[in-house]
Amino acid sequence: MTTEQRATLDRDSLSFCDVMASRVPDGRRLSAAFHSSGAGGIVIAPVLQIAPADLAEVEQTARLWLQWCETLFSEPEVVNPSWLLDRMEYAFSVGTRFSDGECV
């Protein structure tokens, strides 16, 4: 979290973020790490030092977690100027023309 983002939060929110930041994995980073092969397979980083006997089970768990995330969350994959990430909402306007003018 940037200094500017922290400046917008109240004391309770800052405390919550400080506690959770060291305890909860960043789902976006985790997903990107699992997908880092680019070939559709799951990548388990060697730095995690997963025992070879456990590797298949960890890969299966990662695959199931990714499937769960993809069914639960829907985020634009390309740059979308209407999506405001910091507010987790869309912002756009729609307009049409009528015989007596335009309505936005």
**98: three-class secondary structure by DSSP:** strand
Encoding tokens for residue 104? 């936005």
CB contact set of 62 (below 8 Å; sequence gap of 6+): 34, 42, 44
pLDDT at 10: 93
- CA–CA gap between residue 102 and residue 47 (Å, rounded): 59
**Annotated domain spans of the chain:** 3-77
Task: Report the chain's mean pLDDT, rounded to a whole number.
Answer: 85
Q: Could you give the percent of the chain with pLDDT greater than 90?
A: 24
pTM for the full model? 0.52
pLDDT tens-digit series, residues 52-103 = 999 999 989 998 998 898 888 876 666 778 888 888 888 888 889 998 988 8
Q: How far apart are the first and last CA of the chain?
A: 36
Give 51 or 44, the one with higher predicted confidence. Answer: 51
pLDDT at 64 (0 to 100): 92
Measured between alpha carbons, how far is 2 from 45 in angstroms, rounded to an integer? 27
* Per-residue model confidence (pLDDT) at position 47: 85
- State the pLDDT at residue 57: 93
Per-residue pLDDT of 21-49, as tens digits, reads 878 888 888 888 887 766 667 888 888 88
